[in-house]
Structure 1
Amino acid sequence: MPENKDNNVEANSADSETQGEKLIETPLSEPAVDPKAAASAEKAATVDAKAVASAEKAAKPAKAEKAAKPSKAEKFEKAAKAAKVEKSEKPTKAEKAQKAATPRGRATRKAARRWPAIVAGVATAAVAVAVVGAGSLFPGVDATAVTTPSPHVLPVGESMANCQGPTQLLAGSAAGADPEFSPSSSGTKTSVNAVVLSSAAGDIPGSQIQGLDGKFSPLAVLAKPSATSASAQASASAPVLSGEPKARAEVLIGKTVAGPSVLRLDPLGPESSQGSGSVIVEATDGDLAGLAAATCQQPSNEVWLTGASTMVGRTAILALANSSLSPATVSLELFGSDGPVQSAGSKGLVVAPGTVRSVVLSGLAPDSDALSVHVKSVGGPVSAVIQQSVLRGLTPGGIDYLAPVQAPASSLAIAGVQVRSVAESAKITAQNDYADADTALMVTVPGIKDAVLEVKAFGKDGQVALPNGGVLSAAAGKVSTLSLAGLPEGSYSLAITADTAVTAAVRLSSFTKPGAAVDFAYAPSSPRLGETHLMTLQNDVDTSLVFAAFEGSATINLVPVSASGVLGQGKDVEVRAGTSVAVNAKKLLGSESVAVIASVSGAPAFGSQVLVKDGGAGIAVLPLAQSSAGTQAINISTRY
């Protein structure tokens, strides 16, 4: 073979030899070679003898039982000879098939990973031929074939909602992570209410209320699990809320409890059950006199709470409830009016399964007039509520449960802001230690950037002007307050926009006259209303439903539910764009109504439930609980 003096070939050969590159086996097919390919192969066969020797040296020895494999030069010579064969000498199809069936029918070659460019080109051509051959061996295979989607129903677990227990009066010092509580006042009544909706076929899911006492002690059964509900068909649809005969509900009103609890609902076949609950605490005497209420919460691994106070005479107790079967480890992030609050006792709080852990916030952030808490849990999900109470000297200043607010966002809405007359409010707040008895918006900026907010107030007749045009600057990492005392008496809803993510809630007060007991409530920011919301109505508390629409008109359909679970005729509440509407639930739906099913159509709408105690100062605001969604279908395309 003539010697090739090309320097590039020698360099590549030397590089391959010195690095000892690993050789691989590549199956080759034997297609007929045209004259041009033969000429190219013959030219390639003139490789430098040094390169051939280097390749033979680097090649791994074949197994003893197999014949020695040809070197590169021999392969190229063989390819050149094959190209000279006349077309008449091409093997027949039968000969090709017989040759392919023998072990020698598939030639292999050893090749270094790094070759001169001309050799790599020949290898690429061989691979291309192999790919085409594979396509002919497996007809009908498409690399982009899409399987036909078929419906699959995933199993649905039980639904849970944690319900707050009775109000608790601290005994002794408020310091420490494990507080002690005095017995409740004899004039305190704590009631749990619940409503569970059936499927369209009238099947009520198994549902009960259990105590969060570490044992999940049964407290009440709304409906026992039935064979019908357990084997509900996958095609079952969400109930049609029009009072049709098959759809019904199970209701529990005024169940007296002595501690926190959980509402558990079994699934209806492939659907999550729809239900909600609430806790109402009424106290006519004692240091905790007033009206407090909380919606039963679905557990979560992250909760935001806004509006607590730990000043003198103010007590804030955080209740962490774990209704799962796994321990929860909770960490707290605190923000005050002066900035973030660092506390060693805010990390690693363990909440055992089926229990509630109480944390006195004054032990973590003392003397804070505005406090927000970011609750995060690892392991079991938890619910979180702050019991806030005020005692001004010997005069009770009210009590409430601070419900979770919407997670930080640049657009928020708060419905159900009740404002007393400017003159009456001025008389109350003018008293000593009553400065926090006004109506105020509390905003938390958890990020590192200051926020500029625009707040708009909407009443029944449209937008109402706010002091300073509703523009508020809020510092990063702090809780800021905007007074709403200039609003005329009435019911309002707020629309808040900011240039960075914030959380918000409104503190409002209720009173009869100066010197008498005062109560307060917190209206939290909440997301827009969804498809179905369930509410309970207690007989001894006056209930108003407040709805707002900011961007366009919305229609709220309200279906009453009787004590026997019968769904009545629905009634519509029209909410014009840029207004807030309040309706008395009992007057609109009938005095026999004990629960309401609300659904929304039209523009985005927001709502809340405002409770007022007749003949007293008691007030509370409940966000509308989001009912569990039914079956959802998605298409999954599988490609290979």
Structure 2
Amino acid sequence: MPEIKDSNSGIDPEDSKAGMSVPEDSDSADAKAVPDAVTSPAASTLPEGAPEPIAAKKAEPAKVTKAETAAATKAEKKAAKVTKAEAAAATKAEKGASSPGRDTAKGQRRAKRTVRRRWPVVLAGTATLALAAVAVGAGTVFPGADATSVTSPIPHMLPVGEAMANCQGPTQLLAGSSAGTDPEFSANSSSTKSTVNAVVLSGTAGSLPGAAVEALDGKSSPLFTVSQPPSEPAPTSTELNGKPKMRAVVARDKSTGASSVLRIQPLGEEIPRGAGSVVVNSDDGDLAGLSAATCQTPSNELWLSGASTSVGRTAILAISNSSKSAATVSLDLYGSNGLVQTAAGKGLVVAAGAERSVVLSGLAPDQDLLSVHLKSSGGAVSAVIQESVLRGLTPGGVDYLAPVQAPSSTLTIPGVRVQAPDAAAKISGQSGYQDATTVLAVTVPGVGDSVVEVKAYGAKGQVALPNGGVFTATAGQVNELSLAGLPEGTYSLSVAADTAVTATARIVNSTKAGEATDLAYAPSTGRLGDTHLLTLPADVTSSLVFVAPEGTSTVSVVPISADGILGAAKTIEVEVGVTTTVNAADLLGSGAVSALVSVSGAPTYGSQLLTKSGSAGIAVLPISGTSTGTQAINITTGY
């Protein structure tokens, strides 16, 4: 705070209190009656026996009255907001430090009170949530501040807690013509194999958190333990001896018969980190094909795009609630011809620790393309759509539709596998196979149409699309762009629109005409950063797909072995506008069962493309954020 000085004499007020003389003002009528608190005792004399002048009594060291004390206390409790009037009074009090009599005493009292007011009392504290707040006072204190303005939402981190990731159960076959919100299911084919894979990372000192997988059956029945909690508290610091401390624990190919949740306990003050995936493979039956889904961190809002409820297509929405509170879910449905009005999709209750299935054809029948906007209150949930196709008696594939990125004007979809045009044409040319093509589904949730530009990036750079990849997407519905003309290869799609949209790519794969086909869905994904964990399932071929549409980047991939050892990092250089695809086993070695991915440089997006040798089986796992025990909430502050 700037030092306060007398404006007439240049003497610090503290010095005047020490008895230093102040020059008399010749123009003042009371110049001779200088108070003792300001002049030296010898400055004036009184006749013997004369009464003490009134001015001298009032000039005694400023005594604060009870009223003044109460006023000052009240001012302090109001956070000492200094107004322009108070600032002017303070200035006048300082200037009056050399004035005699009553004005001097009042000036000192005002200055004293003003100095007290300039120091606001700051109070902060909470047991569970630390928030940063800015106190905005008058413009004289914080020039340019607007006390009535509202700031943008700021993420505030909640304390470290348990990490959860919901894992989808095996594919399910509807019993008869079941439809609606509580369907019945038939037994799966005997060849169906459903496995859960999980990886949990240690703390920086090498301690592993407790982790286990439980069934979402309403009773939290334990399925298997990933790691036991440490017997001693996790150390708060690490020894810097040059030896790596971090390790992991991996659970691979664990058979489960139901949806489940991976729970990871907090590790001291460190954030627990883990990831999981579900892979379902069936060689025969109506649900023949390869399906896969990553285990999801629960959320209160999700978008799922690109399903179908037309004849021969079955879409089952599975909603999982691993929290301790019931969730009430509402669905907004966008079809091929606009928003689908239905009351049956509102107020769906999902019990704590349980799963609920909804057959979407009961809510929105005969939709060639269908997208779902899910919102929940109460418990946070995860959701996938099991999409399957049956053409007559021939299975047409099955897969899980994972949540996509929330509506945005720019989206990226990595990992879109395209068959050779000739082979694809033979498949789609068969009777009933008209939709057996690779397409991009774009949903426009707003009220205005959107001009969309799509760019396809292959192994050698951008590849031209019909009409330059530009089309107009109709508002309130799901729109389709065919990708059948692309040469064979693995692509990434960049979507730019003049309004917010969602996007998913539907992939169709086959071996030859007349044989069964399989389908997969590649969702739009978020930008990659540090510490993305992924699993490498057995019995399938895993390829890592990366793209950086706007610049170059470097991807670091650390292999994790079955015994949890972190190996030497492998580096992948990603060129601008090029889709880079690498075989995981070739890059990391056959002993790697999991991996840790980090990216530096330009915004980069990635996915894991799964294929099964000797079949049409195909699936895409997005490389998403690692499940952690910390969550963020947005808080908007204002006056």
Taking structure 2 as the reference length, what is the TM-score of the superposition?
0.78
Aligned to 2:112: 136
Q: Which letter maps to 1:310?
A: T
State whether residues 555 and 600 of structure 1, in contact with CA within 8 Å, keep that contact through their aligned partners in structure 2.
Answer: yes
Matches within 5 A, 1:204-603: 204-228=208-232, 230-233=233-236, 245-603=244-602
Number of aligned residue pairs: give it: 532
Find the partner of 1:170 among 155, 168, 174: 174
* Residues 182-202 of structure 1: per-residue CA shift (max 9 Å, x gap): 011100000000001111211
Aligned-partner Cα distance in 1 for 2:615–2:462: 30
Q: Does the residue aligned with 1:312 lie in a helix, a strand or coil?
A: coil
Are the equivalent residues in 2 in contact too, given 1:164–1:260 (CA < 8 A)? yes
Shift of 1:163: 0.3
Question: How far apart in 1 are the matches of 2:398 and 2:494?
Answer: 26
Cα distance in 2 for partners of 1:126, 1:603 equals: 55
1:190 to 171, 190, 194: 194
Contact residue 413 and residue 492 of structure 2 kept, 8 A: yes
Aligned-pair distance for 1:148? 13
The amino acid across from 2:403 in the alignment is: P
> Contact conserved, 2:397 with 2:519, CA < 8 A, in 1?
yes
SS, match of residue 361 in structure 2 = helix
Q: Which amino acid aligns with 1:479?
A: V
**Percent of matched pairs sharing the same residue:** 58
The secondary structure found in structure 2 opposite 1:255 is: strand
Q: 3-state SS of the aligned residue for 1:423?
A: helix
8 Å CA contact 2:89, 2:110 repeated in 1: no
Q: In structure 2, do the counterparts of structure 1 residues 432 and 148 end up closer, same or farther at CA, with 3 Å as the change threshold?
A: closer
Deviation at 1:91, TM superposition (A): 2.6
Separation (CA, whole Å) in 1 of partners of 2:382 and 2:67: 70
User: Shift of the alpha carbon at 1:155?
Assistant: 3.1
CA distance in 2, matches of 1:347, 1:355: 18
Residue 56 of structure 2 corresponds to residue 91 of structure 1: yes
Cα distance change, pair 139–174 in 1 and its aligned pair in 2 (3 A)? same
Which sections of structure 1, spanning at least 5 residues, go unmatched?
A: 1-33, 39-85, 108-120, 634-640
Corresponding letter in the other structure for 2:603:
P
Structure 1 contact 612–619 (Cα < 8 Å) conserved: yes
Q: How far did 1:176 drift? A: 2.7
Note if contact 2:297-2:627 (Cα within 8 Å) is conserved in structure 1: no
Tell whether the 8 Å contact from 2:543 to 2:608 is kept in structure 1 after alignment.
Answer: yes
* Whole-angstrom CA distance in 2 between matches of 1:104 and 1:536: 71
Q: 1:145-184 alignment to 2 at 5 Å?
A: 155-184=159-188
Measured at CA, do residues 127 and 510 of structure 1 come closer, stay the same or move farther in structure 2, by a change above 3 Å?
same
Contact kept, 8 Å, 1:157 with 1:266, in 2: the verdict is yes
* Rg (Cα) greater in structure: 1
Q: Secondary structure at the match of 1:346?
A: coil
Aligned pair in 2 of structure 1 residues 257, 148: CA closer, same or farther (>3 Å)? Answer: closer
Alpha-carbon shift at residue 36 of structure 1 (Å): 12
Deviation at 1:328, TM superposition (A): 0.1
Q: By how many angstroms is 1:588 displaced?
A: 1.1
Question: What is the CA–CA distance in structure 1 between the aligned matches of 2:447 and 2:211, rounded to whole Å?
Answer: 45
Aligned-residue RMSD, C-alpha: 3.4
Match of 1:622 in 2: 621
Q: Tell me how far apart the structure 2 counterparts of residues 400 and 544 of structure 1 sit (CA, whole Å).
A: 18
Q: Secondary structure at the match of 2:199?
A: strand
What TM-score does the superposition give when structure 1 sets the normalisation length?
Answer: 0.78
Q: CA–CA distance in 1 between the matches of 2:612 and 2:412?
A: 25
1-structure distance, mates of 2:70, 2:570? 81
Compared CA separation, residues 168 and 36, structure 1 to 2 (3 A)? farther
Instruction: Describe the superposition over 1:279-330 as per-residue Cα deviations: whole angstroms up to 9, x where unpaired.
Output: 0000011100000000000000000000110111100000000000000000
Moved over 4 A (4+): 34-38, 93-97, 99-107, 124-132, 137-141, 144-149, 151-154, 628-633
Q: What pairs up with 1:40-119 in 2 under 5 angstroms?
A: 89-92=54-57
CA contact (8 A) 1:100 1:106 kept: no
SS across alignment from 1:90: helix
C-alpha spacing 1:631/1:126, structure 2 compared with 1 (3 Å): closer
Question: Structure 2: where are the runs of 5+ without partners?
Answer: 1-24, 30-50, 72-84, 94-105, 131-156, 633-639
Which whole-Å CA distance do the structure 2 matches of 1:264 and 1:177 have between them?
A: 28
Give, in whole Å, the separation in 2 of the partners of 1:291 and 1:434: 19
Report the AA paired with residue 538 of structure 1.
P
| Deviation string, structure 1 residues 84-115 (Cα, Å, up to 9, x no partner) | xx995413368566x766999999xxxxxxxx
> Per-residue displacement from partner, 1:562-582 (whole Å, max 9, x unpaired)?
100011111101111111100
Preserved CA contact (<8 Å) 2:328 2:350: yes
> Could you tell me whether the CA contact under 8 Å between 2:161 and 2:629 is conserved in 1?
no
Amino acid in the other structure paired with 1:90: A
Cα distance change, pair 377–148 in 1 and its aligned pair in 2 (3 A):
closer
CA contact (8 A) 1:309 1:315 kept: yes
CA distance in 2, matches of 1:506, 1:147: 52
Change (3 A) 1:594 1:106: closer
Cross-structure match for 2:611:
612
Return the offset for 1:622. 0.7
The 1:254/1:505 distance shift into structure 2, 3 A limit, reads same
Assess, with a 3 A threshold, how the Cα gap between structure 1 residues 127 and 603 changes in structure 2: closer, same or farther: closer
> Once structures 1 and 2 are overlaid, which stretch shifts more, 572-581 or 124-133?
124-133
Q: What SS does structure 1 have at the residue aligned with 2:225? A: strand
Say if 2:330 and 2:347, in contact at 8 Å, map to a contact too: yes
SS at match of 2:534: strand
Whole-angstrom distance in 2 between the partners of 1:100 and 1:175: 82
**Residues 100 and 207 (structure 1), Cα distance of their counterparts in 2 relative to 1, 3 Å cut:** closer
Secondary structure (helix, strand or coil) at the match of 2:270 reads coil
Q: Could you tell me whether the CA contact under 8 Å between 1:174 and 1:362 is conserved in 2?
A: no
Residues 232 and 446 (structure 1 numbering): CA distance in 2 closer, same or farther, change over 3 Å? farther
**Contact persistence 2:560–2:595 (CA under 8 A):** yes
**Distance in 1 between the 2:69 and 2:440 partners?**
85
**1: CA distance, partners of 2:493 / 2:401:** 18
Distance apart, 1:592 and its partner CA: 0.9
Aligned CA distance change for structure 1 residues 232 and 381 (closer, same or farther; 3 Å) = farther
Quote the Cα distance in structure 1 between the aligned partners of 2:467 and 2:386: 32
**Would you say the 8 A contact 1:303–1:376 is kept in 2?**
yes
Instruction: Tell me the CA shift for residue 619 of structure 1.
Output: 0.3
Deviation at 1:370, TM superposition (A): 0.1
Aligned AA for 2:187?
A: P
The answer to whether the 8 Å contact 2:294/2:622 transfers is yes
> Contact 1:537/1:593 (CA < 8 Å) preserved in 2?
yes
Question: Residue in 2 aligned with 1:78?
Answer: none
Q: Distance in 2 between matches of 1:259 and 1:629?
A: 23
**Secondary structure, aligned partner of 2:513:** coil
2 CA distance for matches of 1:283 and 1:95? 98
Aligned to 1:136, what secondary structure does the other structure show? helix
Instruction: Give distance in 2, aligned partners of 1:104 and 1:245.
Output: 66
Equivalent in the alignment of 1:8: none
| Cα distance change of structure 1 residues 549 and 126 upon mapping to structure 2, 3 Å threshold | closer
Instruction: Name the stretch that deviates more: 156-165 or 135-144.
Output: 135-144
SS at match of 2:109: helix
